[in-house]
Amino acid sequence: MLHDLFDFVDRHRGETKQTFIEMPYMHDLCRVLEDCVTGNLPDGKRNLAITIPPRHYKTTFVSQALPAWCFAEISDDCEFILTSATEEIAVNNAVQVRQILDSEWYAKTYPHVQISKEERDAQHYFRTTTGGAIYAAGLSGTITSFGAGKTRRHFGGAVIIDDPLKADDAFSRVMRQHCINFYLHTLTSRRNSIETPFILIMQRLHLDDLVGWIEKNEPDEWHIHSFPALDEITGEVLNPVTTSRKELMRLKETAPSVYYAQYQQKPDSDASQVIDVSRLSRFDGDLSRITGRSFITIDSAMSTKEYADRSVISKWRANEQGLYHLGSVFGRWDFPQLLDNTRQVYNEFHKSSRGRCEIYVEDRVSGTSLYQTLRDEMRVYPWRPSEFRFPESKQGRVQHSLPMLYSGKCVFTTQTPREMFDEFHYFRNDMSHEHDDFVDTVTMACSLWLYWGGRVI
C-alpha cells in the first residue's frame, strides 16, 4: 500500500492545488473507513454508518476519495453504487471520482487503473479496463442491470449512501419512509454478494431517519460511528474551520433540535424537548370522586394507513382546581368508524357524568365534517384556536399550555395512555416529531379551562 486513505486525500488535494487543512477527526474518519474495507470493524460487523455534521468533508472522503483509493490500493475491479438524496448530487460524486482517476498524478502513481474508453460519455456510470465500476443514482432513481461488489469474501466494492435525506424532508414521515424503503427494497437487492458492505454517511436529522431505523431494526449488522461537532466536556470543536464554539452555542440556544440532531448527532436529546414529562402532575386515587364539568376534545383524522395521523378522543373533567384527564380512545379510522367511536364515547361518558357533557372538535377537514354530522344529536361545538384566545400554531398552543401542565392545573390519571406521554416526550418546536394528536387534545382542553377562567360549574 503506497498511501493510506488520509494520505491519499492529502496527496490528491495537494496535487490539484485544492485548499486542505488537516484536522485530527479526519484521521479517525479514514481509519474507520479502512476498517470497513479490510473487514476489521468491531464485533465482525460488515456495514458502517457514520454520523457527522454538515460541512465536515464527508462527501470528499467517502463518496469521492474512497472509491478512487480502493481502485488504487485495494483492488482495481471494485464495483460501487453511489447514491444520495438527489440524482444531481450522486452524479456529481461519480464525476469527481472520474476526475481523480483522470488526474495526471493518479495516472502516474497507479497506471493499472484506467477508465474504459467505451464508458467515457456516461456521467452516472463508468467502468475501468480491469472490471471496476461506478454507478450513481438518486433516492428516487432506478438501478438496473448493475450490482455492487464482487462474489468473493475479500472487499470488492460497496454501496455508498451519502446524506440520503434532505434536511427539509426530515419533517415528512412520507419522505423518511421513502428513504428507508429505498434502502430496503432497492439498494439491498443491488449487492452482488452478502459480503458487500453498505457505507452510510449522513448528518442526523430525526429520531426516525435511516440511522434511527438501523439502530432499532438492524443493530447487529451495523457499526455506527458518530462525530459530534462539539465535545461538551472539553469544549473542543470538531472542525474549527467551518464552525466555532460561539456559533454552536448560539444554535443550541435558538434551535436546540437542529443543534442536537445535525451537529451533535443526538436527535432524541432531552435538552431539545419542549415538554418535560417528569414535571407533569399525576393522580392515582379514586376517579369517581373527581367532580366538575365533563367534556371531550377530539383531534380527528380519516385514514387507516399505518403511518397516518391518529384520531384521538380525550375525556376530561374540569373544576376550579383544574383539569383531569380521564382517558382517551384513539386509532386510525375511516369516517364511519370515527362517527361510531365518537357516539360511543360520548354516550358512555355522558351517562357516567350524571349531567351535561360536551364535545369540542377542531374545526378543520374531518373535524368539520364530524361536527356538522353530530350537531343535531349531541352538544358538539367547533373549536377554533383564535376564538379561545389561543395561538394558531401547535408550538404556540403548547407554550401557552405549559404553565398549566407544570403547575398541577392539568392532571393525568391512571387512565392516561402511555402513548400520550410518548407524544409529550417527542414533541419538538421544529415539528420534526412523528405525531402530536394526543398533544392537540390536551392543548384544546387547556385553552377551554383558561377561557372559562376556572369557573366551570
The amino acid at 433: H
What is the distance between the alpha carbons of residues 318 and 447, in angstroms, rounded to a whole number?
12
Give the domain-ending residue among 227, 253, 268: 227
Q: 446 and 354 in one domain?
A: yes
Q: What cell numbers appear for 342 in the block?
A: 365518537
Can you give the pLDDT of all 457 residues of the chain as single tens digits? 668 999 999 999 999 888 888 999 999 999 999 999 999 999 999 999 999 999 999 999 999 999 999 999 999 999 999 999 999 999 999 999 999 999 999 999 999 999 988 765 577 889 999 999 999 999 877 787 889 999 998 999 999 999 999 988 887 878 899 999 999 999 999 999 999 999 999 999 988 899 999 999 999 999 999 999 999 889 999 999 999 999 999 988 877 878 999 999 998 776 667 898 999 999 999 998 899 999 999 999 877 776 678 999 999 999 999 999 999 999 999 999 999 999 999 999 998 887 789 999 999 888 999 999 999 999 999 999 999 999 998 989 999 999 999 999 999 999 999 999 999 988 887 777 778 999 999 999 999 999 998 776 5
Q: 98 and 166 in one domain?
A: yes
What is the distance between the alpha carbons of residues 76 and 29, in angstroms, rounded to a whole number?
23
Q: 301 and 202 in one domain?
A: no
Q: 83 and 221 in one domain?
A: yes
Assess contact for 120 and 126: CB atoms under 8 A: yes
* Residue 419 within any structural domain of the chain: yes
Q: 289 and 181 in one domain?
A: no
What is the distance between the alpha carbons of residues 291 and 349, in angstroms, rounded to a whole number?
13
For residue 302, the domain's CATH number is: 3.30.420.240
User: Buried b vs exposed e over 83-95: b needs ≥16 C-beta within 10 Å?
Assistant: bbbbbebbbbbbe
Q: Is 394 exposed, middle or buried (0-12, 13-18, 19+ CB in 10 A)?
A: middle
* Residue 272 within any structural domain of the chain: no
Assess contact for 187 and 81: CB atoms under 8 A: yes
What is the distance between the alpha carbons of residues 11 and 16, in angstroms, rounded to a whole number?
9
What is the distance between the alpha carbons of residues 409 and 176, in angstroms, rounded to a whole number?
37
Task: Count the domains in the chain.
Answer: 2
Q: 47 and 123 in one domain?
A: yes
For CA atoms 30, 55, 201, 154, the dihedral sign is negative
Interstrand relation of 79-84 and 159-162 (parallel, antiparallel or unpaired): parallel
Q: 144 and 36 in one domain?
A: yes
Give the domain-ending residue among 227, 242, 257: 227
* Residue 246 within any structural domain of the chain: no
What is the DSSP code (8-state) at residue 275? S
* Residue 240 within any structural domain of the chain: no
* Residue 57 within any structural domain of the chain: yes
Q: 223 and 286 in one domain?
A: no
Q: 41 and 190 in one domain?
A: yes
Q: 20 and 165 in one domain?
A: yes
Q: What cell numbers appear for 178 in the block?
A: 421513502
* Residue 263 within any structural domain of the chain: no
* Residue 62 within any structural domain of the chain: yes
- Cβ-proximal residues to 439 (8 Å cutoff; 6+ apart), any chain: 275, 394, 398, 423, 424, 427
Q: 222 and 281 in one domain?
A: no
Give the domain-ending residue among 192, 211, 227: 227
What is the distance between the alpha carbons of residues 147 and 80, in angstroms, rounded to a whole number?
8
- Cβ-proximal residues to 121 (8 Å cutoff; 6+ apart), any chain: none
What is the distance between the alpha carbons of residues 425 and 444, in angstroms, rounded to a whole number?
18
* Residue 160 within any structural domain of the chain: yes
Range of the domain at 213: 5-227
Q: 335 and 195 in one domain?
A: no
What is the distance between the alpha carbons of residues 428 and 387, in angstroms, rounded to a whole number?
25
For residue 112, the domain's CATH number is: 3.40.50.300
